[in-house]
Amino acid sequence: MKYMIKYFIDFVVLVLLYVFIFFKKWRTKGRDSLLVNTLMYAYLSLVLFFTMMPVITSIPFMLNHPYTPMNMVPFIDVSLGRGDFYRQVALNVIMTLPFGFLLPLTQDKKAKFGLTVFSCFLMSLGIELLQPFFDRSSDITDLITNVIGGVMGYGLYVIFKPIIFWILEHLKTR
């Protein structure tokens, strides 16, 4: 129970940020924009949950352990047969599929492949560089597989773009 309170504090802060800052801004842009941006915010909150939380209660203790640099040997777990590497690779790809799909939708029809992939890379790099501060491991394989997931998500965006924009247009007219 004590450990769950740490997560609860982070979620309360995320909800307050959404309600008092982002919701007001996105609501003025229309229902379609509110929906897409809210989905992206919820997605990023879940990524934060799975990769770094609890954050706020961990801040005072971030420097109480040595910073372990990122493992820079790609797919070493696969080559050495350690752990559940196939599961980890699959989960890292799946984790960033929504980013590659949703980010172009937040860009008002001017989404570019390069911008989406670069943004996915920066998000993943930021997570991997910050994880050791929260006593978590950091790996170049995660960075590579996250970017692959972003690329695949962008591919799904391209495939479903006509349907998605049809749905969003109908939201505008309601």
Q: Count the alpha carbons within 13 Å of 114 in the hemisphere toward its beta carbon.
A: 0
- For 135-166, the pLDDT digits (tens) are 888 999 999 999 999 999 999 999 999 999 89
- For 87-144, the pLDDT digits (tens) are 999 999 999 999 999 999 998 667 799 999 999 999 999 999 999 998 888 999 999 9
pLDDT grade for 16, boundaries at 50, 70 and 90 = very high
Residue ranges per structural domain of the chain = 2-60+74-173
Q: What are phi and psi of 28, to 5 degrees?
A: -70, -20
Say how many C-beta atoms besides its own lie within 10 A of residue 67's C-beta: 11
Residue indicated by tokens 């777990």: 77
Pairwise CA distance, residues 74 & 140, whole Å: 6
Record the tokens describing residue 28, joined without a space.
Answer: 């003025």
What is the pLDDT of the chain when averaged over all its residues? 92
| DSSP secondary structure letters along 79-126 | HHT-TTHHHHHHHHHHHHHHHHHHHHHTTTT---HHHHHHHHHHHHHH
Pairwise CA distance, residues 113 & 83, whole Å: 33
